[in-house]
Chains A and B, each alone.
Chain A
Amino acid sequence: MTARLIGPGVLAAMGLYVSIAAWDLGVWDLGEPGAGLFPLIFGTALVLLGSFAVARSVLVANAKLGARSGAGNERATAIPYRLTVYLAALVAYAVLFEVLGFAVSTACVFMTILVLAERVSLWKSIAITIVAIAVSYLLFKTFLAVPFPAGILG
């Protein structure tokens, strides 16, 4: 239920920001549609739809609470360990991709996910990482000429 309140709420807030910014861009100028017209229309739609969704979720939640008075509060669920490792690895991948280069950053992410999240044995993880990086390097760098960042190896 919390996610169903926060999601539409965030979208409504985003729509509000877009609508205000769109107004500043200019909606109509010298008899012609301005750059802000389209974002204003759909930003406003987001505000209205999001607000309606939030209001509906609150009414439904209140109706359920009224029907089951004395029921306990919604339990907060902890983020699973595997998911936490994946999220951290993804963020680190983005930050380190150019700094450390393709090979080193990919190796770090692979080892983190395989060893820490998926509990694959160390030697198996190293073997998988080496093969994956080698094949990707051949395919993208050699065959498709994608200029990977060299990072600390360059």
Chain B
Amino acid sequence: MDFLTNLELGFSIALSWHNLLYCLIGVFVGTAVGVLPGLGPAATLSLLLPITFGMDPASAVIMLAGIYYGSAYGGSITSILLNIPGEAASVVTCLDGYQMARRGRAGAALGIAAFGSFIAGTASILAISLLGPIMASAAVRFGPAEYTSLVILGLVLVCFLSEASMLHSLMMVALGLVLSTIGLDPILGTERFTFGSVSLSDGINLAVMAMGLFGIAEVLALAGKKPEEANFVKQPGHLRDLLPNREEWRVSAGPIGRGTVVGFFLGLIPGGGGILASFASYVLEKRLSRTPERFGSGAIEGVAGPEAANNAGVQATFLPLLTLGIPANVVLAITMGALLLHGITPGPRLMIEHPELFWGVIASMYVGNVLLVLLNVPLIAVFVAMLRVPYRILAPLIVMFCVVGAYSLNNNVADVYMVIAFGIVGFLLRKASFDAAPLVLAFALGQLLEASFRQSLLLRQGSMVIFLERPVSAVFMLASAALLIVPLIRHMRIRSSGLKAE
């Protein structure tokens, strides 16, 4: 009953007219931010932080939170329509979402992403309300060794999501990790592989890499084919036909449910869980599917599961912030800044000292999910109309979009050079049968892996035993080893039985 009373308090705050308006502004701006390349939620929150000075603290967090989870949905729009991932978590959506768009099912992909995110977000918020503080306390017991082994498990999973061979996927993971070392050493501050360039001393920006390897590389790949092969299959005209049909809903139900669970638990882990959520879900669905060969060619499960996992993870990342005062990423650190500016310290006492703020934010996340669906589902027809533009006109627009997006990150022309260089590299990688997805995901996890790996070694004076001493870390390491070794043994057995038959 106490839980229901708290929720009632929360909804009374969230459904007030001014908070509804702030929530609507937040999800609208967030969706736009997710669609536009280069302008991420962190930069947007930084720009809007001064505006929150004069606002009620609950209203400020409601608006900023809306921008954060709105941007997660916006990132999936460009992933599906243009093969340009807005963030690391949206890379997986490109694999099948874009292929669905090319086959005339863009509306179904966008629709399942919207509804799947809504269902996952709602379930995640309910779980936060019921289980929240207990789960958050367990999650923050993760130390450097657990983070290292979790990221290694994630990188092994990344190898399974690609259609390329395991060997090629491993090479891309290694390349992504090497590229993540460009810039300053995270612990000692030493310059690495910068070649004297000031631009490179900040490292490579993930958005620049993703826009190049996916967006521009796709344009080049289609430029190498006949013009008629580049156009999208005609999309249906009516909204009714654009949305997922009954069969697509039936196939997506399981992935949405499983994605919600995977995303929620991984999202609780501060620092890296959220990125892992979407591709852990993808790999899980590919493994469970009776027709895994469809993945990478437009399987709706490859969109439903990861999008649900991503949104569930995004909602779950608020829990360590609100209950323990630990921001999971830069975006939440800025949100925490907004609270501190109002004299409110997030942490274990927030629920007791400011229950209206805690429960108001939780309730507003539910309201925000509803608003996202109401806002974006009718707009599916508008988004899909973009694909009716002949590709020969869309292509230079995509190029301009990527170049301007890259430049707008740091107002630095070096990013323009990099996005085009990565575009050409991405095209050449495709020609050599390499998949860019493992490279981008490994790059996104590289700095976390290195920092936690080196911290682990420092804790045990250089001994690697730490990864097996700690039970959670040992489980992740053994799981990673099993995932790598079992398919290898199976492959060798098949080869030797094939040789014996000859």
CB within 8 Å of B: which residues of A? 3-4, 6-8, 11, 14-15, 18, 21, 25, 28, 31-39, 42-43, 45-46, 49-50, 52-53, 56, 79-80, 82-83, 85-87, 89-91, 93-94, 97-98, 102, 106, 109-110, 113-114, 117-118, 120, 128, 132, 136, 139-140, 144, 146-149
Residues in B with CB closer than 8 Å to A118 are 227, 392-393, 395
A4 & B39 in contact (Cβ 8 Å cutoff): no
Known: A83-B224, A102-B404. A110 touches B171 (CB 8 A): no
Interface membership of chain B positions 222-244, coded 1 if the CB is closer than 8 angstroms to chain A and 0 otherwise: 01100100000000000000000
B416 & A3 in contact (Cβ 8 Å cutoff): no
A sample of 9 cross-chain residue pairs with beta-carbon separation below 8 angstroms, ordered by A number, consists of A33-B462, A38-B450, A50-B171, A56-B167, A90-B220, A113-B399, A117-B223, A118-B392, A136-B400
Q: Is B499 an interface residue (CB 8 A)?
A: no
B400 & A32 in contact (Cβ 8 Å cutoff): no
Given A7-B429, A38-B453, A45-B170, 5 further pairs, Cβ under 8 A: A31-B461, A38-B454, A90-B216, A94-B420, A144-B408
Q: Is B458 an interface residue (CB 8 A)?
A: yes
Q: Is B490 an interface residue (CB 8 A)?
A: no
B403 & A83 in contact (Cβ 8 Å cutoff): no
Q: Closest CB-CB distance, A144 to chain B, in whole Å?
A: 6
Q: Is B168 an interface residue (CB 8 A)?
A: yes
Q: How many residues of B contact A (CB 8 A)?
A: 55
A149 & B432 in contact (Cβ 8 Å cutoff): no
Q: Which of B39, B174, B432, B449 has a CB less than 8 Å from the CB of A45? A: B174
A8 & B420 in contact (Cβ 8 Å cutoff): no
Known: A11-B171, A86-B223. A28 touches B411 (CB 8 A): no
Residues in B with CB closer than 8 Å to A82 are 223-224, 227
Q: Closest CB-CB distance, A41 to chain B, in whole Å?
A: 8
Known: A8-B171, A11-B175, A146-B404. A37 touches B454 (CB 8 A): yes
Q: Is B181 an interface residue (CB 8 A)?
A: yes
Tell me, in angstroms, the Cα distance from A49 to B461 when the chains sit together: 30
B396 & A49 in contact (Cβ 8 Å cutoff): no
Known: A35-B185, A93-B420, A147-B411. A52 touches B174 (CB 8 A): no
Known: A15-B174, A39-B192. A97 touches B185 (CB 8 A): no
Q: Is B142 an interface residue (CB 8 A)?
A: no
Q: Closest CB-CB distance, A129 to chain B, in whole Å?
A: 8
